[in-house]
Structure 1
Amino acid sequence: MSASLEATRRAGTRRGVAAMALGITCFVANDAIIKFVTESLPPWQTIFVRGIAATGMLAGLVVTMGAAGQWRALFDRRVLLRAGFDATATFAYLIALFHLPLANAMAINMAVPIFTILFAALLLRERVGTSQWLAIAVGFFGVLLVVQPTPSAFNAYALLCLAGTLMQAGRDLVTRTIDARISSLLVTFSTALAVTLLSGVWGLTQGWEAVSPAQLAMLVAAAVFLGGGYYLLTVSMRTGGEVGVIAPFRYTGLLVAIVIGFLVWGQVPNALAWAGSALLVLAGLYVLRR
């Protein structure tokens, strides 16, 4: 590889890492708000109302930023496939979450970087070095120390959660193959629309409860974080950087979750969780240094 191409790839990797870390932070903020609101509203309704807000916000941005002229790209085979992967993965994870301890579901879901890198290496022939695999393994071990899943709690829903994890990895892989001329904002809109439509179908068999102004305000805030997370995650996979470096920074979301859990719910990590957090930080620094 020439020096200029290598420099371009490194720059893309740095942008991808930043977008991944910021995007996952947005998702964690969204999840925290949703967790709070679902204490008083049905999950499907929470997701649907948030989805309406996110889709409307993104539609406005698509028009404002001049991407509406590419509306036909919404029917691009790979854009549709990505949206389908994301929507299906979202609901597979949510359904599994209703029947699994949170720690177990998170541990399974945090395997997304491993599958993303494995698929990229096998299907896209992307280069993944030994040091990157080592950092991923250390990071995942750190995740297990933080969430501390219980083996006895795994059941058939764990397989559904695993299926959702595989679909998320597939989504990231498809994202890298979407035509670079298609706006990332439009790709983001397609995902938000797919999730909203699927939650609407789910809600056809459920009852509707009144939404208070405070709940609506929180769901609009969640929609802002969700839209930002969707967009940044899409960008992270389209920078042309190395998947083996970018994907592990999904683990940063767990560190943000620990901070939010302490500030909002007063949850204090135990010694194992602190050790796992340290491993996550060290693994991230090691990948960046390499």
Structure 2
Amino acid sequence: MADVAILETRERVLAGILLTGAAYLLFSTQDASIKLLVAGMSVWQILFFRSITILTACAAIGGRHLYAETARSPIVWPMLLRSVFTLAAWLCYYNAARSLQLAELTTVYYAAPIIVTVLSVVMLGEKVPMLRWLAVAIGFAGVFVACDPAHLGLSVPVLLVLAAAFLWGVAIVLLRKTALAERSMIQLLLNNFYFLIFSAVPALLWWKMPGWSELLLLASVGALGGLAQYLLFEGMKRTPASIIAPLEYTSLLWAFALGFAIWGDVPRREVFFGAALIITAGLLIVGGEHFRKRL
């Protein structure tokens, strides 16, 4: 029986890793769509449309019963707190993006997985093996090499990105807590209901009537963002936050691939070296967990 329990736990964690990896692929595709939109539309309007799309999908799937169940959920207030941290991270990140190059922005922001790993110890009491710490360090080194940033210093934009990384780290740890307390559809509904409330007034103030191509992109942002959030919630139910954290580095690989496919961006040699380190970090996480569960 003990062997069966160990096997089930291992399979559960590996399933969580796969779900989370798929979520970050979808988030990267969503970000590419947002990059196409943001040139002529405010982030607030994009967030507003995304929230409406996801809430409409939730209503179609769960109906009034889902909304009634959500109103009685014990995570209504914890999800509000998490949504505030997530929104604050978004605002810091996109304000910093006006002043920093993408390489600089990405490198500083990817301090987030390290912050998540530290906070998972402090806030969740998780025990993080040395191999996992090593994977986090290797993953961050890979991002650093791939982006090849200049000496940034502690300018206001850099501080904003560091704040975004910290706020996102807190949001991920809080997500781990709420993920264990409630099913994913309710979390998805609450998360996007709060985003809708937060973004409604700014979206109306900076409103731009979208064309048909923009409407299609907005719909894709909603579909990709909703599915990505759902997969992330499901992954968090199965896997400790400190295991999930380094998987966020895979977003950089997808970002480079999408950049080449959409805008014809050709990665530099350093990108391939960094990608190799990032993949190594991910394999260390998966392989280390597989080996540990066999002991």
How does the TM-score come out when normalised to structure 2?
0.88
Matched residue, 1:231: 230
1:40 aligns with 2:29: no
> What's the offset of the Cα at 1:42?
3.1
1:271 maps to amino acid: R
> What's the offset of the Cα at 1:250?
1.1
Can you give the 5+ residue segments of structure 1 that lack an aligned partner in the other structure? none
Matched residue, 2:245: 247
Which is worse superposed, 190-199 or 135-144?
190-199
Which is worse superposed, 256-265 or 179-188?
179-188
Matched residue, 1:275: 273
Matched residue, 2:217: 218
List, as ranges, runs of 4+ consecutive aligned residues in structure 1 with deviation greater than 4 Å.
2-5
Closer/same/farther in 2, CA of residues 59 and 105 from structure 1, 3 Å limit: farther
After superposition, what is the alpha-carbon deviation per residue over 1:210-261, rounded to whole angstroms, capped at 9, x for unaligned? 211111011101110000111111222221x233322211111111111111
Provide the C-alpha distance between the structure 1 equivalents of 2:193 and 2:117, rounded to a whole number of angstroms.
Answer: 27
1:106 maps to amino acid: T
Which is worse superposed, 67-76 or 94-103?
67-76
Closer/same/farther in 2, CA of residues 189 and 147 from structure 1, 3 Å limit: farther
Provide the C-alpha distance between the structure 2 equivalents of 1:112 and 1:179, rounded to a whole number of angstroms.
Answer: 19
Provide the C-alpha distance between the structure 2 equivalents of 1:38 and 1:159, rounded to a whole number of angstroms.
Answer: 23
Please give the residue correspondences for 1:105-254 in structure 2 after superposition, counting only pairs within 5 Å.
105-152=105-152, 155-178=155-178, 180=180, 182-206=182-206, 208-239=207-238, 241-254=239-252
Closer/same/farther in 2, CA of residues 54 and 10 from structure 1, 3 Å limit: same
Provide the C-alpha distance between the structure 1 equivalents of 2:27 and 2:119, rounded to a whole number of angstroms.
Answer: 23
Provide the C-alpha distance between the structure 1 equivalents of 2:67 and 2:55, rounded to a whole number of angstroms.
Answer: 14
Query: Contact between 2:59 and 2:66, CA under 8 Å: does it hold in 1?
Result: no
- Report the number of matched residues: 286
The DSSP-based 3-state class of the residue aligned with 1:67 is: helix
Provide the C-alpha distance between the structure 1 equivalents of 2:171 and 2:217, rounded to a whole number of angstroms.
Answer: 28
Provide the C-alpha distance between the structure 2 equivalents of 1:57 and 1:73, rounded to a whole number of angstroms.
Answer: 19
Query: Contact between 1:86 and 1:191, CA under 8 Å: does it hold in 2?
Result: no
2:88 maps to amino acid: T
Query: Contact between 1:74 and 1:190, CA under 8 Å: does it hold in 2?
Result: no
Can you give the 5+ residue segments of structure 2 that lack an aligned partner in the other structure? 289-295
Backbone CA RMSD of aligned residues: 2.2
Matched residue, 2:53: 53
Closer/same/farther in 2, CA of residues 74 and 187 from structure 1, 3 Å limit: farther
The DSSP-based 3-state class of the residue aligned with 2:99 is: coil
Matched residue, 1:30: 30
1:160 maps to amino acid: L
